[in-house]
Amino acid sequence: MCNYSPKTCLCYKQDLTDFFKFVDGREVTPNLISDYVMFKRDNGCSAVSVNRYISAIRSYFDYCCRFAGCARNPAAGIRNIKTEKRLPLFITEPVMNDLLDNHLRRDTFKRYRTFLVVLVFYHTGIRCSELAAIRDLDINLEKRYIKIYGKGRKERLVPFGSELEYHLREFTKMRDTEIRVSDGHLFTDIHGKGLSGFQIRIITKQALLRVVPAKFAHPHVLRHTFATAMMNHGAKIENVALLLGHESVDTTTIYEHVSINYLQSIHRQVFR
């Protein structure tokens, strides 16, 4: 499972366990896999979930062909199910500005932490797992960028503006005065231990519920909100994709020569 996150590996393990329960000792053929796909669909499994099952099965037999003497991959010809493209949820800029300016106080460590979690999500578009992993050493305040380790531990530099720089400085001063930070994470609990992704999702949800309905109260909505704001202000889609850490075969050659200085100039068009 090279370059897969632990969470993805666990999901694949669970998917394969489910599949082999269905197989029940029978020979795995393309027809049997197709029957399994239909079985999952008939039982209300979404197209996205079924495609993940197919991917897990295909990857498993790819491995068997390479390392376990399997002659062929029975899932090689199984096509993914078409999925409907849904418009991503996002929060408008006026609502985000209202939240940050009027609803989130910064007079205590926990309150400032909540404010900064939301601000970092909104100004960078990073994933929840990426935010949880940020350490103080990953932040360059002078050059205004954060070193982010994305999916597959791939590294990218994400720029930020003067507003976020100011609050990063102020928050870390308050944090280091009140709490002994033991593990180097930017966001910690009162004991100095880095926050988990689950804790960050709860903090974000509670903050966003002040101004939006529950379906919008999620870190990933802030990722869409960042991307939408960037594109509304004229950023090119390939540059937004690079900031988000998306991969695209079609745009890989474009990405190779884009510098952090150029990304910072794009970022300044939207965020102070």
131-175 pLDDT, tens digit per residue, is 999 999 999 999 999 999 887 778 899 999 999 999 999 999 999
Is residue 79, in this structure, part of any structural domain at all?
no
d(CA 45, CA 35): 14
What's the confidence (pLDDT) of residue 270? 80
Q: How many domains does the chain have?
A: 2
Q: Residue 121: inside a domain, yes or no?
A: yes
Judgement on whether residues 29 and 134 belong to the same structural domain of the protein? no
Q: Quick one: 121 and 256 in the same domain? A: yes
pLDDT of residue 255 exceeding 70: no
Which among 32, 67, 102 is the end of a domain? Answer: 67
Are 159 and 240 in the same domain? yes
Please indicate, yes or no, whether residues 162 and 42 belong to a single structural domain of this protein. Answer: no
The answer to whether position 35 is within a domain reads yes
82 in a structural domain: no
Residue 1 resides in a domain? no
> In the numeric block, which tokens belong to residue 111?
């309150």
C-alpha separations of 215 from 91, 128, 135, 200, 220 in Å: 11, 17, 30, 16, 11
pLDDT of residue 248: 56
Give the number of other CB atoms < 10 A from CB of residue 270.
17
pLDDT at 73 over 70: yes
Separation between Cα atoms, residue 93 and residue 137, nearest integer Å:
30
pTM of the model: 0.70
Whether the pLDDT of residue 256 is over 80: the answer is: no
Residues 188 and 254 in one domain: yes
Q: What is the mean pLDDT of residues 249-254?
A: 36
Same domain, 131 and 185: yes
Query: How many C-beta atoms surround the C-beta of residue 101 within 10 A?
Result: 8
Say if 73 falls within a structural domain. no
Domain span including residue 161: 93-268
The CATH number linked to 241 is 1.10.443.10
Task: State mean pLDDT over 204-228.
Answer: 95
Q: Supply the mean pLDDT for the chain.
A: 89
Can you give the chain as a three-state secondary structure string?
Answer: CCCCCHHHHHHHHHHHHHHHHHHCCCCCCHHHHHHHHHHHHHCCCCHHHHHHHHHHHHHHHHHHHHHCCCCCCCCCCCCCCCCCCCCCCCCCHHHHHHHHHHHCCCCCHHHHHHHHHHHHHHHHCCCHHHHHHCEHHHEECCCCEEEEECHHHCEEEEECCHHHHHHHHHHHHHHHHHCCCCCCECCECCCCCECCHHHHHHHHHHHHCCCCCHHHCCHHHHHHHHHHHHHHCCCCHHHHHHHHCCCCHHHHHHHCCCCHHHHHHHHHCCCC
Where is the domain boundary, 49, 67, 85? Answer: 67
**Spatial contact of 204 and 222, defined as CB atoms under 8 Å apart:** yes
Both 120 and 162 in one domain: the answer is: yes
Q: Where does the pLDDT of residue 123 fall: very low under 50, low under 70, confident under 90, or very high at 90 and above?
A: very high
Confidence of residue 242 (pLDDT cuts 50, 70, 90): confident
Task: Tell whether 80 is covered by a domain.
Answer: no
